Amino acid sequence: MYTESLVKLGKVRSEIREIFEYGNKRKAEIGAENVFDFSIGNPSVPAPKSVNDAIIDLVNNFDSVALHGYTSAQGDAKVRTTIANYINNRFNTEIAPDNIYMTCGAASSLTIVFNAIMQKDDECIVFTPYFSEYGVFLERTGAKLVAVKSEDKTFQVDMKGFEAAINEKTKAVVINSPNNPSGVVYSVETIEKMCDLLRKKEKEYGHPIFLVTDEPYRELVYDDIEVPYLINYYDDTFVCYSYSKALSLPGERIGYIVVSPKMKDAGDAYAAVCGAGRALGYVCASSMYQRVIEKCIDDTADISIYKVNRDLLYNNLTEMGYECVYPDGAFYLFVKAMGDDAHEFCEKAKEHELLLVPADSFGTPGYVRISYCVQTKQIEDALPAFKKLAESYQK
């Protein structure tokens, strides 16, 4: 009667949501300051002042009918020009406004690109750990997700495993760097190796294999790490960008797709993106927030707090004996579950009022995700609990 796979999908309560709601219950019981909730990936710093200033300026001074009216489906031309100029200056690319399509954030960027390029039985490679919604988005296109296990401990790409996974059905590869949930950033060398391999395979199979880069965490990197801009390394690239984390606007749903101008038949690729957006019901991204982006193009939220949190959490947890992946970016610490069972470990953590997320749904059983997009004080206050949890395994 109803679409069965979607009924099922709609009924699955996300594990993260369950933990979040347990947290709220527990906070009511013992006081919010005594519960250490590290479950949610919601930015903990406000949007920069420039965002609110831009909104107020637009509302007060921009013609209402134009401000809140439809933009063209691919986004306002002036906004796309501003974004193209910004990208070109920063990454030395030659992107035109008509290579850019404004979207309602990263999830819609991904569904639009997947619908534009993936057909039934095509395969899309992702690397563990990966955002589980990739599978949800791909399923509706009839394509198949193929998970390639990353290297142990470092969670860098296992090039042999990657090569073995590519076959003639491979249509796309998703790169999510900085990675949710591992925080890993791929180096230039890694990217070059991956792209060389893909070019070789494109020739071998006689059709393009697209790189889809999922980049909501691009701006969240620490220690002067460079995140390679994929369009400069590989022609058949779609960039899926979002301002959710960069400007702390996750609920406003604003981002964009770049279709590399060097892609084979780039005009068709862009048309497929426009067609997919239309078929999925995306009329245009919020007209007001498009213009907010235009005004705040080179600003970010104050993300320095995330580095403070990362250092505090990483240094203390490794010292306590936890095995942690060193996160170059994003706002997650990826930690091996003591005792190896992530669910058991998270249950035990709850006894110490620590709310962590088992990473099984990211394709990496035995690991947990700790979101450090929280107040620094929460980390400081939680350290004794982390210590007790570790000790309970070291007895």
What residues numbered 24-53 form the site for its own copies, per CB under 8 A? 42-47, 51-52
Residue 288 beta carbon to its own copies: minimum distance, rounded to whole angstroms: 6
What residues numbered 91-130 form the site for its own copies, per CB under 8 A? 104-105, 107-112, 115-119
Residue 13 beta carbon to its own copies: minimum distance, rounded to whole angstroms: 10
Q: How many residues bind its own copies (CB under 8 A)?
A: 81
Instruction: Label residue 368 exposed, middle or buried (CB < 10 Å: 0-12, 13-18, 19+).
Output: buried
Q: φ, ψ for residue 191 (rounded to 5)? A: -60, -45
User: Which residue among 16, 26, 86, 136 contacts its own copies (CB under 8 A)?
Assistant: 136
Nearer to its own copies, 362 or 386 (CB): 362
What residues numbered 254-293 form the site for its own copies, per CB under 8 A? 264-265, 268-276, 278-289
Q: Where are the beta strands (DSSP E) in 144-234?
A: 144-148, 170-175, 210-215
Question: Which amino acid is present at 55?
Answer: I
CB 298 within 8 A of CB 53: no
What residues numbered 67-96 form the site for its own copies, per CB under 8 A? 67-72
Residue 75 beta carbon to its own copies: minimum distance, rounded to whole angstroms: 11
Q: Which residues of 187-218 are buried (b: 16+ CB within 10 A; e: fewer)?
A: beebbeebbebbeebbeeeeebbbbbbbbbbb
Nearer to its own copies, 141 or 364 (CB): 141
Torsion sign over Cα 270, 272, 275, 281: negative
Nearer to its own copies, 31 or 281 (CB): 281
What residues numbered 231-260 form the site for its own copies, per CB under 8 A? 248-253
Residue where the block lists tokens 């980390």:
379
How far from the centroid of its chain's Cα atoms is residue 195's Cα? 21
Nearer to its own copies, 51 or 165 (CB): 51
What residues numbered 150-209 form the site for its own copies, per CB under 8 A? 207-208
Nearer to its own copies, 188 or 271 (CB): 271
